[in-house]
Structure 1
């Protein structure tokens, strides 16, 4: 089970990096901060 949880975290981390790198250029700086805060909250729920 520990290995599975670690693998899930690695997968989510990779997905987060890909999502951020793809999504950030689409937003202006003001909207970026709000979007990053929302995404951080979502990521904390996953963990």
Structure 2
């Protein structure tokens, strides 16, 4: 008999890996945009 939390834990791990990657890429792109806009404002 399998542990009841195993399937949901695996699904949540996959969801975190997928959504976490999307969120991370969005945060990085947003950070780069703000960084470039900050540099552009300084120059």
Q: What is the TM-score of this pair, normalised by structure 2?
A: 0.53
Q: Superposition RMSD on alpha carbons, in Å?
A: 1.7
Moved over 3 A (4+): none
Structure 2 unaligned spans of 5+: 36-43
Task: Compute the TM-score of the two structures, normalised by the length of structure 1.
Answer: 0.50
Q: Tell me how many residue pairs correspond in the alignment.
A: 29
Q: Which has the larger radius of gyration?
A: 2
Uncovered stretches (5+) of structure 1, i.e. residues with no partner: 32-47
